[in-house]
Every structure is written in structure tokens, then in C-alpha cells.
Amino acid sequence: MKIIYTVRLAGIILIGCLLLAGGAAASGSIRAYIGETIPLQGYSYGSSTVYLFLTGPNLPVNGVALNNIYARADEGHFTKVNVDSNDHWVYKWSTNSIGGRLDAGTYTVWVVNGPNDLSRLNSVDYSTIAVSLGTPGIALTTPMIPGTLVLSSFPNETSVVVNNEYKGKTPLMLEGLEPGTYNVTFSRFGYHKFFTLVKVEPGSVSEVTASLEQETGGLAISTSPAGARVMVDGADAVISPITIPNLPAGNHTLNISLAGYTPQEQPVNVIANQTRAVNLVLTPVSPFSEKQAAGLVPATLLAGVIAVLLAAVYRLRRY
């Protein structure tokens, strides 16, 4: 006798040709989950009925019926399937309707051309199909609810990088973010960078305000001669020599003055994390210029008086 069986599962077609002669057997293999319905079909030539039984984990050794695991094959219980006029048989095995519950593991479906259990197969033709049954997992898919990140800073117009990706300048709103923790960096020229981790919750708004600290440096100012009055950007005066710390990095203006010397205005650049030396030599005011300036007003007055007197004498002579 020849039995040809075909098994279809999840779009995969397994076709086997089982030559059954003198008790020889061939086998196929199926993988499925407990609770699924497994279609079994094949061909049987020379018999109008095939007898199916099952062996496997925690089942009686000689097998049970496929539709009732408490119905023992060695007590005459089988799952009987009719063979049609084309020698074809079909059976849909519902692993969820078997009178009990199967354990996960590998089972064997026996297809026999007579009502014989496992202990009495020497006188019949049969074939087997291996079935591996697993426990289905639980998969829960929930829609992702995005969150929002609102970023501001002092000062404004600070660049923002989120997870190593530039996003723009503050003030800034980032919407549609996947919930999770984000690495946010604020940066601006002349200021120390500001780093923070921000947790974005589903459907919520996370706000961050960054106060950036200016990068600072210093100036060590000396004058020749010493004792000059020094102003930085018009601020309160100090006397040289002087070291001024914690000045914002960048350009500044020094104003230096000392009695008897020409005032000076000097641009300087403060470098972050450094103290820059500034040495200024003052230029004395010329002594001649001072005397000229002192005598300028009396000489002008005298010239005016002489002019008035000459005009008066000229008028008297005419009359």
C-alpha cells in the first residue's frame, strides 16, 4: 500500500510520498502552537478508512485518539477518517478540542490502515507525522503616544543638540518625540556648554530652561608710571597695577588717565580661562604747552584792551 500525505501550515506546503510495504514507514514534520488547528491530509490506496492516533509527552505509550486524549488506542479508540473515491482523506486536527490539554513538546501522529495501536503495528501498513507543539506567547501592541520637549535658555539664541543631532536655537519646541530619555546640549559662543538628560513622557510636555555661564578670563594691567586710573568698559575706576579677574571673554575697552599725562584708550581682548598681561606706557604732557595754555587768556585780554584804546585815540584826533 502507498500513502501520500500533504500538510499545509502557515503558507508552507510539505509533500511527502510514503511507500508503505512490509511495515516500513516514512515521516514528515510540522511545527505549530497549542490551540491551533492543523490540517492533515493524504492518500490511502486499498482501504476506505484510515485510523489516526497520537503519542507523545505524558500520553499513554500506545497512543490516544486525536480528538480525545483520554480515549486510549489500546482500548480500541481511534480517530477514524474516511477515504474518498479518489483515495484521498482529510482531517483538521483542532489541538484546542481534544478533551484535555496537551503539554508543549514533540508528538507523533500515526496514520494506520487498520485499528491497531502502537503495540500492534507489525501486521499493518502505517505512516507517521512528527508534530512539534509550542506554547503561544502573548504579544501586546499599543500605539506610541508621543511627547513634547520645550527648550529655552538664558541668553536666547542658544544652539541645541539632542542625541547628537542639531535641532535649532532657543526658544525651541520639539513635538512628536518617542517617549524616553534624551541627551540635550545647549551651546553658545563665549559661554560654557550646558548638558542635561531629559525624560519625555507619553502625551506630556517636558520643559527645560538652561542658564548658561559666560566664559571668563582676566587682565593684569600695569602702567608706567604706576598709579594711573583705569576703567574697563566705563566701569568704576581702579588704580594700576591691578589684576582684574572674571571678565567675560571677548573684546573690552580700557581708559587710562593720570595727572600730567595724556589720557589713553586701549582696546583689549579677554581670552577664556586665561589672564592676559597689559602693559601701558603713558605719555607726559609737554611743559611748553602748559605754559602756553596758562598765558593764553591774559595775553588775549591785553590785546583787547590795547585795541579799544587805539580806537578811542583815533576818534579824538578826528574831532
Residues 98-140: tens digit of each pLDDT: 988 899 999 999 999 999 999 999 988 899 999 999 988 776 6
Q: Where are the domains of the chain?
A: 2-134, 147-211, 216-281
120 vs 183: CA distance, rounded Å: 71
**Of the CATH numbers 2.60.40.10, 2.160.20.10, 1.10.10.60, 3.40.190.10, which one belongs to the domain with range 216-281?**
2.60.40.10
Cα 305 off chain centre by = 92
Summarised one tens digit per residue, pLDDT across range 245-254 is: 989 988 999 9
Query: Would the pLDDT of 17 be above 50?
Result: no
Task: Kindly report the three-state secondary structure assignment for every residue of the chain.
Answer: CEEEEEEEECCEEEEEEEECCCCCCCEEEEEEECCCEEEEEEEECCCCEEEEEEECCCCCCCCEECCEEEEEHHHCCCEEEECCCCCEEEEEEECCCCCCCCCCEEEEEEEECCCCCHHHCCCCCEEEEEEEEECCCCCCCCCCCCEEEEEEEECCCCEEEECCEEEEECCEEEEEECCEEEEEEEECCCECCEEEEEEECCCCEEEEEEECCECEEEEEEEEECCCCEEEECCCCCEECCEEEEEEECEEEEEEEECCCECCEEEEEEECCCCEEEEEEECCECCHHHHHHHHHHHHHHHHHHHHHHHHHHHHHHHHC
Summarised one tens digit per residue, pLDDT across range 271-308 is: 988 999 999 999 999 775 555 555 555 655 666 667 66
Does residue 215 contact residue 192 with C-beta atoms inside 8 Å?
yes
Query: Would the pLDDT of 319 be above 60?
Result: no
User: Does the domain formed by 147-211 have CATH 1.20.1050.10?
Assistant: no
Query: Would the pLDDT of 27 be above 60?
Result: no
Residue percentage of the chain with pLDDT more than 90: 63
**Of the CATH numbers 3.40.50.2300, 3.40.50.720, 2.60.40.10, 1.10.599.10, which one belongs to the domain with range 2-134?**
2.60.40.10
Summarised one tens digit per residue, pLDDT across range 34-58 is: 999 999 988 888 889 999 999 999 9
Would you say the CATH fold of 216-281 matches that of 2-134? yes
pLDDT score at 300: 59
78 vs 65: CA distance, rounded Å: 5
pTM, rounded to two decimals = 0.44
Summarised one tens digit per residue, pLDDT across range 55-103 is: 999 999 999 999 999 999 999 999 999 999 888 999 999 998 898 889 9
Evaluate the omega torsion of the peptide bond into residue 241 and state whether it is cis, within 30 degrees of 0: yes
